[in-house]
Amino acid sequence: QLQAFGGGLVQTGGSLRLSCAASGGTFSRYALGWFRQAPGKERKFVAAISWSGSRTYSPDSVNGRFTISRDNAKNTVTLQMNSLKVADTAVYYCAARMIGTSTREHEYAYWGQGTLVTVSS
């Protein structure tokens, strides 16, 4: 089970830190990802991290602004978001899968409930 939290309202240029807590299973066996869904749009990939944390991936739209990390001892994955833009407004979801990282939504078997991030101008 995954539970995401940390969303909220922030002004353009601000920062937010999202976290996702996992329970059940062996956390360190799972690759983790963050996705987001803006109003009226499809859910999109934001970041992914390997089971060990040694490899991370993110699209150009957030690269250099967002950082994904994990703490296997605490069963948490974090998304640090800096220099936020209005276009980053969305519901953010954490997800987990076994056998390597992926940027594809359908390859993740486990999903959190989402946390809303609103960036105002």
Q: What is the pLDDT of residue 23?
A: 87
Encode pLDDT of 13-39 as tens digits: 999 999 999 988 788 889 999 999 999
Q: What is the pLDDT of residue 28?
A: 83
pLDDT at 46 over 80: yes
**Region of 84 on the Ramachandran plot (φ > 0 left; ψ -120 to 50 alpha; else beta):** beta
Q: What is the pLDDT of residue 19?
A: 97
Q: What is the pLDDT of residue 26?
A: 84
Full 3-state SS string of the chain: CEEEECCEEEECCCCEEEEEEECCCCHHHCEEEEEEECCCCCEEEEEEECCCCCCEECCCCCECCEEEEEECCCCEEEEEECCCCHHHCEEEEEEEECCCCCCCHHHCCEECCCEEEEEEC
Mean pLDDT value across residues 50-68: 95
Cα separations in angstroms, 36 against 31, 41, 103, 115, 121? 17, 10, 12, 9, 19
Length of the chain: 121
Q: What is the pLDDT of residue 25?
A: 74
Encode pLDDT of 65-121 as tens digits: 999 999 999 999 999 999 999 999 999 999 999 978 999 999 999 999 999 999 999
Q: What is the pLDDT of residue 24?
A: 80
